[in-house]
Each structure stands twice: as structure tokens, then as C-alpha cells.
């Protein structure tokens, strides 16, 4: 744990983020009228849900009809230097334009209907301009996120600027926007209040340092009769999670959570001890997909699984493998 934490926080996290200069479904309604939470009623009809982990905070979720992406970032660049001696790709720094691996994205993401963006850092937003333009997907994010996407020429009709609190109904998909907090990086010294708005002049391609946080969000996505609560950071506002009771929680479990009070318990308790928990944002995102994440699995995931078992014995924690779809029947 210590070694991994040092690797991520010193080399990637602090360097990337802490430098200030760098810086559901219709059937749920039926369920509510029956007076029971969605997950608790076995008679509730829902489609099989397929969840695929892209690494970092990135996911693809589909009920076989609608495809929803969350913070998709297949490019996984060696920011600030390679994380493994066998990774021979060129290294990138904060003043470099954020590179986009379009060939890889084309292989992995042929289509998308919605893209949910949890904050503006490049490991969340860097690939979204290309994916949004290519797929025509509707993108939901903060005004900062929307301004960045506009700078890349994503048409305004695709963009929905939100601040948290909204609950939007689309065809076969609805999403509640949940106000959030960014990970407490740099030993809790990280704070970035910068925002972009309609007066901000941005010219694409942006430098990595121009992908500012712009405020952090979670989303309660309702898809195929189930609700999925997303996390893009190792932090959350407890009162905003209370009462949401998602069927599936994408739980942020990277190392910085260790600096927060009683994180695992507060998270699982405030979300109502979800039936399915999928750990997110735990991998070393500076490594390409072909490299093993076993180190992080052993040092971060296994301890979380053990802790979660004690706190929420009825939750099933599934360890995701990059790009391998998890089918929830
Ligand atoms: Zn971030």
C-alpha cells in the first residue's frame, strides 16, 4: 500500500493535480409507488446490464440498448514519465497538448449515446472531445467541462451543463446529478476553485494543465431498470449520497481515501449498502492496458474487498479487469 501510494501520489497525482498552476428507469417509478426501494423487490423487471471498466474512472454501461460512458479515457498516457521500464511511449508534461489515441478509441468505443463527465481533469475529459464528435453522444458535465468541449468544436446541442441537483429524463435513460468533492490529493492540500465560463477563451488542443477540475460531480444513472451511482474521485458529500440507494456503486478506492475519516464505512453506509460494488479509479492509469495491474489489485483492491465484507456483508464486490465486460443478470 505504501509503495503504490507513493508511486501514484508523488509521481502522478501530486504532479498532475496538486500544483495549483497546473493544475432508470421508468420501472423505478412503478417501484416507488409500490413503496419499496428498487433493489429490494425481486419481482422488478430489469434487463441484463453490462459494465466494462476502461481504467481510471472510466466505464461503459449498457442495457443492450442505450450505451452510457463515464469518464472514458483509453489514451492512458505516461504523464511525467513511464510508470514501467518496458513502456517505451513518449512521456508528456503539463504544458504538452493532451494526446488522444484515436486508433485505440475507435477499437474500443464504436458508439455511445451519453457521456457523463465527473470533472475536467485530463484523465476524465481528455478523450471526450474526440468521442463526442465521433459518436454524437450527449455529454453531461459542469460548465467548465462544457466550455472545454465547445473549444474542441463539439456542437452545443450535444452539451448539457449542470451543477448538481438536476434530475434529467431522456429516452430510456435518466440521470440525477449529484454534487461532489474532488479527491483530497497532496495530503489534503489540493484545492482548485478555478472555473471556465462563457467568457473564457480556450483554444484547442488544450494543454494538459488547461484541463482544470472545474468542480466535481457524481451521477445516479438509471438504465435498464437499475440505478448506478458513479464516483470520479476518492471523496463524496455524505448527505448527497444518503437516500439514493443505488443498486450498483462505482466506489472510488484509490489511496488518497486513506486521508479521509472512516471513508469505506461512510461510503457504504450512506449509499445504503449497495447489492453490487465495483471499485473504480484504483489502477495505475499511466500504464497501457497491456501491462499488469496485479500490484494495485493486491495492495488496494484486496484490502478494500476485505474491509467491505465486514462493513457490508451482503454487498458483492466485483473486481473489474480492464476491458472485460461484467454482465449483471
Ligand atoms: Zn481529478
Interval 259-276: pLDDT, tens? 999 999 999 999 999 999
pLDDT digits (tens, 9 = 90+) for 309-318: 999 999 999 9
CA 173–ligand 1 middle distance (angstroms): 26
> What burial class does residue 204 get, using C-beta atoms within 10 Å of its C-beta: 0-12 exposed, 13-18 middle, 19+ buried?
middle
- Could you tell me the residue ranges of all domains in the chain? 2-224
Q: Is the distance from CB of 202 to CB of 27 less than 8 angstroms?
A: no
- CATH T-level assignment (fold) for domain 2-224: Metallo-beta-lactamase; Chain A (3.60.15)
pLDDT value of residue 44: 56
Q: Is the distance from CB of 181 to CB of 235 less than 8 angstroms?
A: yes
This prediction's pTM: 0.87
CA 150–ligand 1 middle distance (angstroms): 20
pLDDT value of residue 2: 38
CA 67–ligand 1 middle distance (angstroms): 24
pLDDT value of residue 46: 84
pLDDT value of residue 288: 94
Residues of the chain with pLDDT under 50: 1-43
CA 182–ligand 1 middle distance (angstroms): 6
Angle in degrees, 0-180, between the axes of helices 128-135 and 143-151, rounded to the nearest 10:
70
Amino acid at each position: 500500500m505504501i509503495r503504490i501510494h507513493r508511486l501514484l501520489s508523488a509521481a502522478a497525482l501530486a504532479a498532475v493535480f496538486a500544483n495549483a498552476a497546473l493544475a432508470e428507469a421508468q420501472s423505478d417509478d412503478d417501484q416507488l409507488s409500490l413503496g419499496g426501494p428498487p433493489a429490494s423487490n425481486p419481482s422488478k423487471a430489469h434487463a441484463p446490464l453490462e459494465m466494462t471498466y476502461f481504467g481510471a474512472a472510466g466505464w461503459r454501461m449498457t442495457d443492450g440498448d442505450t450505451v452510457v460512458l463515464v469518464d472514458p479515457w483509453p489514451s492512458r498516457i505516461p504523464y511525467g514519465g513511464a510508470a514501467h521500464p518496458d513502456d517505451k511511449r513518449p512521456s508528456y508534461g503539463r504544458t504538452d497538448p493532451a494526446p488522444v489515441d484515436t486508433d485505440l478509441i475507435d477499437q474500443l468505443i464504436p458508439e455511445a449515446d451519453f457521456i457523463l463527465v465527473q470533472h475536467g481533469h485530463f484523465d476524465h475529459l481528455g478523450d471526450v472531445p474526440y468521442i463526442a464528435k465521433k459518436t454524437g453522444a450527449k455529454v453531461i458535465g459542469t460548465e467548465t467541462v462544457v466550455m472545454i468541449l465547445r473549444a474542441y468544436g463539439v456542437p452545443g446541442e450535444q452539451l448539457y451543463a449542470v451543477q448538481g441537483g438536476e434530475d434529467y429524463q431522456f429516452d430510456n435513460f435518466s440521470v440525477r446529478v449529484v454534487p461532489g468533492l474532488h479527491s483530497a490529493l497532496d495530503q489534503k492540500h489540493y484545492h482548485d476553485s478555478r472555473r471556465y465560463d462563457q467568457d473564457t477563451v480556450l483554444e484547442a488542443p488544450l494543454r494538459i494543465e488547461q484541463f482544470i477540475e472545474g468542480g466535481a460531480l457524481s451521477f445516479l444513472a438509471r438504465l435498464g431498470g437499475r440505478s448506478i451511482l458513479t464516483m470520479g474521485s476518492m471523496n463524496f458529500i455524505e448527505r448527497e449520497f444518503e437516500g439514493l440507494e443505488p443498486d450498483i456503486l462505482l466506489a472510488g478506492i484509490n489511496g488518497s481515501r486513506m486521508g479521509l475519516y472512516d471513508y469505506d464505512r461512510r461510503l457504504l453506509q450512506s449509499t445504503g449498502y449497495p447489492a453490487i460494488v465495483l471499485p473504480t479509479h484504483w489502477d495505475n492509469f499511466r500504464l497501457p492496458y497491456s501491462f499488469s495491474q496485479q500490484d494495485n489489485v493486491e495492495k488496494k483492491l484486496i484490502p478494500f474487498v476485505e474491509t467491505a465484507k465486514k462493513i457490508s456483508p451482503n454487498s458483492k464486490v466485483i473486481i473489474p479487469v480492464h476491458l472485460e465486460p461484467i454482465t449483471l443478470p
